Structure 1
Amino acid sequence: MTLASHLDNASAARVSTLIWGSPGVGKSAAIRHWAASRNLPCWTIIASLREPADFGGLPVVSRDHSGTGIEGVPAVSFAPPRFAIEAARRGGVIFLDELTTAPPAVQAALLRAVLDLAFGDLELDPARVTVIAAANPQSEAAGGWDLAAPLANRFVHHTYAVDPTAWVDAFPTYWGAAPELGFAGQTVDAAAWQRARLQVAAYIRSNPASLFALPKAASRQGQAWPSPRSWDFASRLLARVSAMGDEPASALSLLAGCVGEGPAAGFLAWLAAADLPDPEVLLADPDAYVHSNRGDISWAVLTAVAQAVIDRPTAPRWRAAWKVLGSAARAGGTDVATPAMQSLVAIRSAKLPLPKDFEAFFPIFEAVGIIASVGSNGKPTTGLPS
């Protein structure tokens, strides 16, 4: 079951979820992406940075007991934290990150919060608010603690393991939400970063074991090593260096500082040998496309062409992209061209109909029992989505 399906099911059943996974695999990003995709506000709370009173409530003395018939006697209320008040007003996800860094006293204060959505004297509506937590295994957490049995028993547990294939498919578009990079007037060109993400994804596609490799030696775990998070950082630095006009090889020290010397050197050697063409050159002259027998290279080229059209979809660029994809499919590259084909099909419209080159992918549809054709209007018929 996918993480998204798990979170959908658990939140509907009103059961809090704890996501386990090694550092750097993308647990936090995946949870925030799930919340955003459901239009849910998400408050990220690092439990280890909080006091027990932040969950159990801060004691506040009051003498106002209106309507009780008892006046002047001091009483203590437990005030909830601001994020709980905001969650009560808006609904959404309270995300308890890095849970295994929370000391026992904080874990004890979380017992009612996780089970009853109670923060101080405020109880949240379980129809509008859900609790999700994430944790590294205690042996991999920063100053980690084992979870107390009563707290662990309040969650449905899910192990999140990175899937290199899924990551390679999603990273070039950054899951549809790539942020703008820059600081103090210094920027990173968005197109350069997208190109760098494609290059990293193509490398991981052919070297999936390089996506995540937590060193076994504790002394090495505190240094640079490859993970989805550190490859993300590497792509940003590669984009910055490339946009400044420097050769990618000059970024070795920066990339090594993210993923380690061995993986960085391996990636740069692969990149130099790949010699990937500019997708804009192919869109200007689709006949210039030469299909490579190396699947990692052809996947990177075709994905870049499709993404370039998605970013700026005009009729001439649309037709040129399909001509490139059709050439790849007819040259025996249907398998590596299919992801790019699916991306383009997703944005088709009346102004961007499927062209004749789409027929090069019919063997795929025939293999799964779909008999298809393209009508005079350029749209697929008989079993394909319209």
Structure 2
Amino acid sequence: MTHATPSHAAQLDVADQLLTLLRTAATEPRPDTQLEALTLAVAADLPVLLWGEPGIGKTAALTQLAAALDLPLTTVIASVHEPSDFSGLPVLGDDPAEQGVPMAPPDWAVRLVKAGRGLLFLDELSTAPPAVQAALLRLVLERRIGALTLPPAVRIVAAANPRSSAADGWELSPPLANRFVHLQWTHDPEVVVRGLGGTWPLATLPRLDPERLADAVDFARRAVCGLLAARPALVHRLPSTETRRGGPWPSPRSWEMTLRLIAFATAAGSARDVLSQLVRGTVGDGPGLELLASLDRMDLPDPEAVLADPLGAELPERGDLRQALLDGVVAVVKSRPEKARWDAAWTLLVRALETGAPDLVVVPATTLAALRREDWDVPPAIERLAGVVALSRRADRAGRSASERTAVPAGVGR
């Protein structure tokens, strides 16, 4: 009995079935800070630039994001286009002297306008030469391509490899870099293993609380304006090196973007790690960390309220925030020294000693002790703190002595 040999076409059909099975994957809700940061920036309608080494899944993440958000994905490889592809090609009409010469947009832009929504993915951005980067400026900031303006429902995300790993790579120009939220895209081995097994994290837009919108805007404005009023040098700071100019740095434009991100993160109740990635990816690490520290201080209780109820006040768990609160309480006592306020501050320091690291009360206790007036009785609480302060001072003296003994005099051993 002979068996018929399957035709080549039939074999390709079977191969296609196998490929379909391999491409089929499910999604699941899973905590992923970088994916949450990306979706939050997309919801805030800010251009995002994903930085990462080749092959770590930037393109796959954007494909999955577009599918999860039900947005048509349009991929444009920036390095294989000419500047005119983004600024528009001149088209002669019937009477150029009267009607001018319109700039015709590329076909992908026309498709996006007709669809009314979509996700525009600018891939391999770091391989685009300077002339192409210059042509992208208007697209990224104003959403204009030739005579067309992209609809508001179109979001822009780009991806780039570091210059060291990019094929014929270029540094991003400062004007183009300053238009993006820069996110460092890394791979999580657990996510990769589970994804290869058929289940990837689910990308979802942040759930904004309608009742928190006004408060979120007010909080974001107070945070950014408060920092810049105290640190005006941070309003605009162009980095000195070419590499850093191609990343996030502070400018009025990037601070405006940061304000929007804080408002969205506040309205969505996003975690601090997510907000940290977004803020540092917009104005840079230094200014971003200063802003995050300022945000933490904004969440601290009013020192006067804490002083009014030292036994019932809630003390922060984080050491740096607790230290800031204790320092703030001592500062308001120093500004208006009164016996009752002085005693209340000691009561608070004792609570801090009992519920946290002892070293956090050393500096506030030393400062508070120096505020004592001659006619003020020493409260019993000081006795409980005296040992901690004395131990800290002995440790400091021992440390200085050890450093002096191990110091090598100039010229010895040469």
| TM tier, smaller | 0.3 to 0.5
Q: TM-score, normalised by structure 2?
A: 0.39
What TM-score, normalized to structure 1? 0.42
